[in-house]
Amino acid sequence: MNRSFLKFIGPGLLITVGFIDPGNWAANVAAGAQYGYVLLWMVTLSTLMLILLQHNAAHLGIATGLCLSEATTQHLPRWLARPILTSAMVAAVSTALAEILGGALALNLLFGFPVKPAALLVTVMSMVFLLTNSYRRVEKLIIGFVSLIGLSFLFELWQVQVDWGAAARGLVMPAFPLGAMPIIMSVLGAVVMPHNLFLHSEIIQSRQWNRSDETVIRRELRYEFLDTLVSMGIGWGINSAMIILAAATFFQVGAVVTDLRQASVMLQPLAGHAAALVFALALLFSGLSSSITAGMAGGCICAGMFGREYDIRGTSSKIGVGLTLGLGLGVILFVVRDPFQGLIVSQIVLGIQLPITIITQIRLTSSKTVMGTHANTRPEQAALWIVAATVITLNLFLLISIFQPGWP
């Protein structure tokens, strides 16, 4: 390891903020408040799957110079590529809905703004950041936000009494409590997110290097994996802290949480006024930063549909960003009535779309036509297909649970 690795820090943290977004907060608070520490294992499993998938997506960008959306358009038949990328845009919009809504709820908590005007403000702020910042400046902004969110949760955990033995068991011992399948799926959808796979392959390939030099490519792959591993590890810690905090406060007293605003208010008598304030501030940082990454993902998916790279100065990229954030805002203004359930459902939508993106990615990265000598090896293919099978199985369980009594 040398200092040159530090130049590659950034893409992984952009992805990390995408899965510590407000939708994830809702899923994690629901998991901890309803089931205590027993669903922590899903964060661990999801993060392990995430590391493998994100590295594979970045692998595509480094080896080919194409993002996942561009590669889908270029190497799959049009009749197949367009529905795949359209479903990915739906996932990006669902993501943006959660991010904007979370930021709006934070503004409501901090300043008393009504949720819908606050959602409009968050959308406008995100658009301004996207239209005026280069990749590197956005990365620095995101790194700052991730740092603040991480420090916020360290402070929160310091304020409460945690059963660390139960938490340690929960992190590694799978459990399926009765009625927990929707929450399990929302945690999965909140950690392994389709738009992040598209975004990672875009960000990493946008960094220019000599792709004709095999030594350079292998160095890029090595450093990228370290960036992914460190960044996803940070995300695992923050997500775990969310569930642990909810378990140590709300679950311990039997409190039912149906709103992130309610969670902040309830934290005050349980962990102190400062904890409630820090919770709201961290939610605001999370909403703003993840809205930016959701918009970027929508822009790169839309640009890739037309065979173009993401460039905020380009028409297709602007359309993608506008559609992603605009439609997400539109759903908040005209459809969503229960913000907390809206956040949970948005994460379930991501979990349902995820197999489509994963299977597409595996097909592309396993093809020697696409990847050349950097195509997935047989062990890599086997590991990726195990992840795909796990996600599909969990989705089947979710669909079964929908038709059972007690579905929320």
- What does the pLDDT average to over 47-66? 89
Question: Average pLDDT over the chain, rounded to whole?
Answer: 81
More confidently predicted of 397 and 287: 287
Q: What angle do CA 394, 11, 66 make, to 5 degrees?
A: 80
Indicate the pLDDT class of residue 102, thresholds 50, 70 and 90.
confident
- Is the per-residue pLDDT at 104 higher than 50? yes
Please give the Cα distance from 26 to 19 (Å, whole number): 12
- Is the per-residue pLDDT at 221 higher than 60? yes
More confidently predicted of 205 and 377: 377
Q: What angle do CA 12, 13, 19 make, to 5 degrees?
A: 95
Look-up of token digits 């949970």: 344
DSSP string across 282-315: HHHHHHHHHHHHHHHHHHHHHHHHTT----TTSH
pLDDT of 11: 67
Q: Please list, residue by residue across 2-11, b when 16 or more beta carbons sit within 10 angstroms of its beta carbon and e when fewer do.
A: eeeeeebebb
Please give the Cα distance from 156 to 276 (Å, whole number): 9
pLDDT of 207: 57
User: How many CB atoms within 10 Å of residue 309?
Assistant: 18
Please give the Cα distance from 119 to 333 (Å, whole number): 8
More confidently predicted of 267 and 285: 285
What backbone phi and psi angles, to 5 degrees, belong to 307? Answer: 70, 25
Q: Nearest 10 degrees: CA dihedral of 212, 215, 217, 222? A: 180
- What does the pLDDT average to over 57-83? 93
pTM of this structure: 0.82
pLDDT of 1: 47
- Is the per-residue pLDDT at 74 higher than 70? yes
Please give the Cα distance from 157 to 162 (Å, whole number): 8
Domains of the chain: 3-402 (1.20.1740.10)
More confidently predicted of 258 and 21: 21
Question: Picking from 21-25, 65-69, 97-101, which range would have the lowest pLDDT averaged per residue?
Answer: 21-25
Q: Measured between alpha carbons, how far apart are the two ends of the chain, in Å?
A: 49
pLDDT of 309: 87
- DSSP letter at 311 equals -
Q: Which of 237, 229, 226 is nearest to 151 (CA)?
A: 237
Which H or E run contains 186?
A: helix 181-191
- What does the pLDDT average to over 368-374? 91
Please give the Cα distance from 107 to 346 (Å, whole number): 20
Please give the Cα distance from 318 to 295 (Å, whole number): 9
Q: Are 388 and 381 in contact (CB under 8 A)?
A: no
- What percent of the chain stands above pLDDT 70? 77
pLDDT of 370: 94
Q: How far is CA 133 from CA 6, 136, 312, in A?
A: 21, 8, 9
Per residue in 3-51, pLDDT tens? 554 555 556 666 776 667 666 777 788 888 889 999 999 889 888 988 9
Q: Which of 98, 99, 90, 31 is nearest to 346 (CA)?
A: 98
Q: How far is CA 200 from CA 100, 280, 296, 300, in A?
A: 21, 28, 10, 10
Question: Picking from 115-119, 168-172, 213-217, which range would have the lowest pLDDT averaged per residue?
Answer: 213-217
Q: Which of 371, 320, 373 is nearest to 91 (CA)?
A: 320
Q: Are 289 and 163 in contact (CB under 8 A)?
A: no
pLDDT of 187: 75
Query: In the numeric block, which tokens belong to residue 162?
Result: 């945690």
More confidently predicted of 25 and 127: 127
The total number of residues shown for the chain amounts to 408
More confidently predicted of 261 and 311: 311
pLDDT of 404: 58
Please give the Cα distance from 100 to 77 (Å, whole number): 34
Please give the Cα distance from 284 to 22 (Å, whole number): 9
Q: What angle do CA 55, 128, 50 make, to 5 degrees?
A: 15
Per residue in 174-183, pLDDT tens? 888 887 877 8
